[in-house]
Every structure is written in C-alpha cells, then in structure tokens.
Amino acid sequence: MGKTTIKMTAEQETENPIFIEGLAGVGHIGRNTVSFVAESMEARKIGEIHSHHFPPYAIVSDEKTINTIKNDIYEIKREDQQDIVFLEGNAQANNPEGHHEVTDKVMDLVETVGATELVTVGGYGTGDVVEEPEVMGVTTEEDLQDKYGEYDITFDHDVDQVVGVSGLLLGLAQERGYEGICILGETPGFLLSDPKSTEEVIKVVQSIIDADLDYTGLDEKVEESQEILKKIRNLKKKQGQGKGQNQDGKGQAPDLGYIG
C-alpha cells in the first residue's frame, strides 16, 4: 500500500497547462519562487499531496495553530495565455524511497491535469558567496535549449546531478514522453533562504509564463540578504588566514554542490 496520496479539494478548471514545481531545498529557491509567483497571480488551491515520507513534524503558524507537512497544488486559468498548475511545498521526502514514491505520484498528477510542459525549480549550492547569481538550466532534450536560452538561462555550467524532486520529476517526465526544463538558481548553500537568487529565478519564470509580477516585498528581502552575504564574505576572509587555507592561501569552502 502506498504511503503517498493526492487529495483534490476543488475541481480542476485549467486545460493543457504548463506544470511548475518548486519545493523546499537549498536556499528555498524552488519553493519561494513558485510560492511567490502563485500568490502574485492569485492562483486557486485545488489540492494537496500528503506522504509518510515527509519529515515527522508539524508547523506552528503565527496564530499558534498546527499545520501538517504537505505539498499544495494551485492553478490559474487564463483567457489569452497558457493555463498554469503549480506545485509548491515546505518539504520533500526524507529518504531515497520516499523521493521516488512522491515524485512518481507527482508525475501521475502531471498526467491527470493534462500538462503539456514541465518546469521544475531548484537551487544549486556553490559553497561560497554568490554576488551575481546565475540561472542555469537542464532540459529533457538538447534542442529545447534554444527555446529556453531566450530567457536568460545559461546551459554553460558544471552541474552534473540534480537531487530531489526537481531532478527526478524531469527524469520521469522524459521517460513518459514529456518535455521540460529544470531551472537552477545559483546560491551559496549556507543561507536558509536566498531572496537574491530567488529574484533572478522569478524573473526567468515570469518571462516563460509571460506574467506581470510586483517585486516590492521581495526587493526588501534581497537587500537584507546582501548585508548578510557581506558579513559572511568578511568572515571567510578572516578564516582564510587561519588553518582553513590551502596551498595558494585561499580558504577552502565545503562542497555544497547540491540541488533541490
């Protein structure tokens, strides 16, 4: 018996939508991007994904009420543009078996809603300060890179693996005959949330779906994060003068090349 279930709470109204996934991961870029876009476009919630593979805790809201860990499904129907279905959530599975089971269920959802294109969103941790984050891409087919290259996405990068739902979903999509792209925001990896990288990814997603978004609230978070990065950079310089130096005198950063 499966441990992962999809609960639809409203009837789907979209037709042939683009499916956009973003869950919690490095820098929370995926989750924050999709959450921001869905909220800005006033998307309508139509379902939830629950799984025994999600972390064993509940989240306490500002009102001091309990919310279980889940992934939320939203949709937005548009008259003159392609409809959209969003998947966003504050957690992924906490074990390999769970990742595969949850992702397989998400792919079933993709087929159920009749999606024609997939966009998954994640973060790529570099282990060092990133002042001007790039947005990198990985596609199911090489010829798609010409299409997505128009949206300020670089395919000239060293990414060699995509961990978590953002990668597995694209892989399963390819196996089932779907086309799509994984969009990766470059991030230090040691920030709980990286609004600067998130902003760059949002701009790309905005271009792909041709939407008009208000960045006012996000801009304030970006400024705050840049101050944090400055402090981290100064701290790393000081640490580089100590035992963390390598042969050329530069501090070594941990390998945080993880995507999620």
Query: Residues 88-138: pLDDT tens digits?
Result: 988 899 899 999 999 999 999 999 999 999 999 999 888 887 788 999 999
pLDDT computed for residue 245 by the predictor = 43
Q: How far apart are CA 223 and CA 237, in angstroms?
A: 22
Q: How many CB atoms lie within 10 A of CB 138?
A: 25
How much is the pTM?
0.84
Mean pLDDT for 66-94 is 93
What CATH number does residue 18 fall under? 3.40.50.10900
Q: Could you tell me if 20 and 41 are in contact, meaning their C-beta atoms sit under 8 angstroms apart? A: no
Q: Is residue 146 part of a domain?
A: yes
Helix, strand, or coil (residue 47): strand
Q: How far apart are CA 110 and CA 221, in angstroms?
A: 32
Q: Could you tell me if 6 and 100 are in contact, meaning their C-beta atoms sit under 8 angstroms apart? A: no
CA distance to 3, 66, 100, 249, per residue, from 97 (Å): 11, 27, 5, 42
Q: Is residue 1 part of a domain?
A: no
Q: Is residue 117 part of a domain?
A: yes
pLDDT grade for 61, boundaries at 50, 70 and 90: confident
222: amino acid identity, one letter? V
Look up the domain containing 204 and give its range: 8-239
- Beta bridge partners, 71, equal 49, 89
Q: How far apart are CA 131 and CA 119, in angstroms?
A: 25
Q: Could you tell me if 251 and 127 are in contact, meaning their C-beta atoms sit under 8 angstroms apart? A: no
pLDDT over 70 for what percent of the chain?
A: 83
Q: Is residue 106 part of a domain?
A: yes
Q: Is residue 255 part of a domain?
A: no
Pairing of strands 18-23, 84-89: parallel
Answer yes or no: is pLDDT of 83 > 80: yes
Q: Could you tell me if 40 and 213 are in contact, meaning their C-beta atoms sit under 8 angstroms apart? A: yes
Average pLDDT, the chain: 85
pLDDT computed for residue 119 by the predictor = 97
Contacts of 93 (CB under 8 A, 6+ apart): 51, 53, 54, 99, 101, 102
What the block records as the tokens of 117 is 């294109």
pLDDT computed for residue 165 by the predictor = 92
Q: What's the domain count of the chain?
A: 1
Q: Is residue 259 part of a domain?
A: no
What the block records as the tokens of 17 is 């939508």
Pairing of strands 135-139, 18-23: unpaired
